Amino acid sequence: MSPMISREPTLERLATAQSLLLTPFGLTETHLSRALSAIKAHQVDDADLYFQYTRSEGWSLEEGIVKTGSFSIDQGVGVRAVSGEKTAFAYSDDISEASLMDAARTVRSISSAAQGRRVRVPTRKISPSRSLYAGIDPIASLGSTDKVELLGRVEQLARARDPRVVQVMAGLASEYDVVMVARADGTLAADVRPLVRLSVTVIAEQNGRREVGSGGGGGRFGFAYFDDAKIAEYVDDAVNAALTNLEARPAPAGVMTVVVGPGWPGVLLHEAVGHGLEGDFNRKGSSAFSGMIGQRVAAKGVTVLDDGTLADRRGSLNVDDEGCASQRNVLIEDGILKGYIQDAMNARLMGVKPTGNGRRESYAHVPMPRMTNTYMLGGSQDPQEIIASLKKGLYATNFGGGQVDITSGKFVFSASQAYWVENGKIQYPVKGATIIGSGPESLKKVTMIGNDMRLDSGVGTCGKEGQSVPVGVGQPTLRIEGLTVGGTA
């Protein structure tokens, strides 16, 4: 038996991408160069080809039985030309030399007449990339019967936890995503991206009142991650949330101090400041943070990062969707704005380097600057001390959805789990609290930062201009002054 020859991971991913995206369709790197040369025969600033193969699977359980199972395969290529700040884009789910050349001729029309000169084919260069997760197919990491059994186990555990649990819904999703990028400058890049997620939702009932709670998580790995301990943790989160909400009273309203818990509540940061720090909004001057680099935008001690380089995380990428290696970008350091997150086009127009944040939902979408894992670093205070410091106010430990107006920086959030605190002691859970504030203002009102920074469990999806991408968030426990709480009381 001959020994296995292991290849450098970047080359390994490139080989995987070629075997799925080029070879079956009779394409080679020469065809890619030819298509890019056809675009560059017109005066363009940038061009790229984005090939993608995605296989995804989903199972969902309700009322004790697996009601739906879905499986899909999608593949295609997106062809883009950029001239100044204009983008021309064409895509096809038919990968062939004919459709590639057709798309190339379509997008080059963004630029005026042909240059009438020979286009030099740039030297091939492999984009440097990271190795943050294994290039496995997670769908194949567990058999169908075992997946169904896993969901059944979630149901049994949840019902055994408390007799008030009347309904359990559980879902298991997995995706095997292979992408390949060829850029006008000769750069070739590829990534093999596994993604799994387990979600649990329970409904508990008591004296005719019904409340819901949820839990779950995932990341870029196989199903082995969901061992018995992890499943029990997700079930506990869901059941505890539902039972807590059964005891919840209407939330008081008004302007008050809010203590925000660690982990997933970092979604507040994602909405309140993350979107406002994306390059496109700042280049156009439409963000509340436009033109503020080097200025104080947050309280001392507030350091915010967007980091696509964390191993196995849902929001991480070996390379972004334009072939740039992901980076650890410090956006705000000790309260001072340091930079924005950039894709290639906005970076070029702003005279800065791309930050590895060019992302797209699929081959049928254009890239734009998007977050990866956005989080605030921890401070030195004990979380218990932070709660104890609260004379009267809200302690929010979990959030539902939220949204932000980029231009004004105003955000609205619904707290799915929160408590009323008086004289430093948690009094009772409350429901129906919405938190309203301004991103730039609320960061300046952070007065205490906990030493308990943690990332979310791996459930985040971010929407922007109709495109959704997986992301991560995180933060420590924070005390924020003067937020408006819209209550139900």
Task: List, for residues 342-383, the tens digit of each pLDDT value.
Answer: 999 999 999 999 999 999 999 999 999 999 999 999 999 999
Give SS3 for 272.
helix
Per-residue model confidence as pLDDT tens digits over 265-283: 999 889 888 999 999 999 9
Strand partners of residue 368: 359
Evaluate whether 419 touches 429 at the Cβ level (below 8 Å): yes
Encoded tokens for 488: 């139900």
Strands 472-475 and 373-376: parallel
Give SS3 for 290.
coil
Tell me, what's the pLDDT at 404? 87
Evaluate whether 55 touches 139 at the Cβ level (below 8 Å): yes
Q: Of 301, 348, 321, whose CA–CA distance to 444 is shortest?
A: 301
Evaluate whether 56 touches 174 at the Cβ level (below 8 Å): yes
Burial of 454 (0-12, 13-18, 19+ CB in 10 A): middle
Evaluate whether 393 touches 483 at the Cβ level (below 8 Å): no
Find the distance separating the first CA and the last CA of the chain, reported in whole Å.
74
Per-residue model confidence as pLDDT tens digits over 161-178: 999 999 999 999 999 999
Element (H, E) at 168: strand 165-183
DSSP at 110: G
Alpha carbon distances (Å) from 169 to 33, 107, 239: 49, 46, 12
Q: Of 376, 359, 377, whose CA–CA distance to 368 is shortest?
A: 359
Average pLDDT score over residue span 84-105: 96
Q: How far apart are CA 27 and CA 23, in angstroms?
A: 6
Q: How far apart are CA 79 and CA 182, in angstroms?
A: 10
Q: How far apart are CA 401 and CA 412, in angstroms?
A: 9
Strand partners of residue 416: none
Element (H, E) at 480: strand 478-486
Per-residue model confidence as pLDDT tens digits over 222-254: 999 999 999 999 999 999 999 999 999 999 999
Tell me, what's the pLDDT at 4? 52
pLDDT confidence bin for 2, thresholds 50/70/90: very low
pLDDT confidence bin for 406, thresholds 50/70/90: confident
Q: How far apart are CA 108 and CA 83, in angstroms?
A: 9
Per-residue model confidence as pLDDT tens digits over 282-313: 999 999 999 999 999 999 999 999 999 999 99
pLDDT confidence bin for 113, thresholds 50/70/90: low
pLDDT confidence bin for 6, thresholds 50/70/90: low
Alpha carbon distances (Å) from 81 to 48, 106, 460: 7, 9, 31
Q: How is 351-407 classified by DSSP, letter by letter?
A: TS---S-EE-SSTTS--EE--SEEEE---SB-HHHHHHT-SEEEEEEEEEEEEE-TT
Encoded tokens for 403: 């949204």
Q: Of 164, 222, 165, whose CA–CA distance to 198 is shortest?
A: 222
Strand partners of residue 467: 464
Tell me, what's the pLDDT at 116? 53
